[in-house]
Structure 1
């Protein structure tokens, strides 16, 4: 049973959420077109986010973060999802898949060296994805070969790495040579972007999420010391990836709910004021039906996210529920965004109209941190295996 987070009481969380809601709706929403056109988060918004502690909201307080657990994290994510998703991307990896590798698997020395910096506004990237190893890291080709001094030499290429152009730290996954006797043979290495041999390419040109910077990262003979290997043994790498991705999937599901709420609000606002042939658009029953579908999806997604977060924190389910939440909510937000464009009619297809941007932004959510197809395999395969185990 979830009994709350003693480090962040409910009244403190309520204050954090109120501040973030005000920041998002009063300061960021009015500048969404600016973010889209410049493909960048304005420096003053970045500074404000850092000052509010958003670069470390899920990092424990002992390392300078706010210390939100996942049940609280999803409430924050639903607020952040209400505006350009690139805002959350700016600090998402610090709190999510990159930062949580350090929190959950790093040594005390590694945590002390990096977590305070991340909480203060430095940026970490999660360097996992390759051209042949996306949702399933088993196909990874990047290697880390042990040298004579006990350190490692990293060779390989990662692609679509979020925040790579701005990163201070690359949390890098690589196949270990020689392979350890236990585990999947995948290690996690802390690689500063200033290390010799690290090359970050120009930022990618993407369909949406302007302002979120991703890029290909090359590792050519990159040497790191033995202290760069996360954890006490090489078996930690694959576990770190799977654990961090599962947690991140619930966060992304919550983000999708926040974006779906924004698309619904835009639809209701348009339908209640725009007219067609002298009739308010919202008076047409088929428009009301579309809005009803949107509202139902938002309510169902919010309930699922909250339940999945609770199950994760209590340890009851850290595999099936995260995948179910991500699958449903990211598919749901795609449908809600599509309906939002439909409610707006031709207006919804015009650049600078919020639902047009939302429609493009949310398409990525069904792809990153495990595609919808991968989530179905995790859910279905996991349930079947559990049934077999019970009957054995």
Structure 2
């Protein structure tokens, strides 16, 4: 039954016939239904005109997309704002705080630049302090030790903790629920970079009990580029100031009182929409991808399969001589990161690319900068066997050359 389902789903991804798609964590493959929705909408705009003829339809699509995301997150759609990327969502939160000089933020050394760069600017402009916690990898990572270190860094000036749900640098899943408990204990807010989380992990946002969760559309949710989202816990909305205000973030957008220093924001999370009107083909494509993930694939099925595939490929390659798995055992989501003794990760990735496996290295600035494979539900065990064989051949040939 599962084999038949997988076979039917794979037909919806033409790219899978061209390459072994092991790079879902950068961009997921685009399903046919999303491509067709974007093409149809682009054609409609081209032949019939843009914006005004379809403005009501655009707003309805935005609301429907928010409801689909809320379905996956298991929250209210009023707590979901649409953005253009995870990075934009993170910035909305970081710049929406009422900072005071000396306020503290805690993050880690393995966060993405999308977190580290805005925090660096906040330090410069707002005079806040940022504490960076080192996170071990491989067998050196111990969850209890990490949580103790995190808690030890908290002071009465700590205002926010920012962490990835899943690290792009090492592939580990952070214990967000335990971190949230620490935040509640000290009355600290929690922002989670969920770019590599939603769609790879079953994410019950209320159970995780986070305050903010930034979402990518183009990765595990299989949408096009140029769209993302932000979850904001309802009781935090009134305390987070919008940094950018557009007509889409204003209630009754054309009824501004010019004699008042105030405006009425759109209801709940919609007040953080920064685009006056989203590009409709992208929105339609994302909406179609979400419907595909919910109705055809099934989020629970997808996340369980991703977990299985990650464990399976790990078991295949961890026995090879010289291979070090960087992703701590038991923390896998959709990633497996690894190093091979004697191999530069960039060169090893290129070798694997030549064998038609779409993999990539982590940038060298993010130590230990391993090779990264990210696995979608659509992959087969046979493809993972082929990958394992290709990697083994590369390692053996290198040894023989010596």
> What's the TM-score, normalizing by structure 2?
0.24
More helix by share: 1
> What's the TM-score, normalizing by structure 1?
0.25
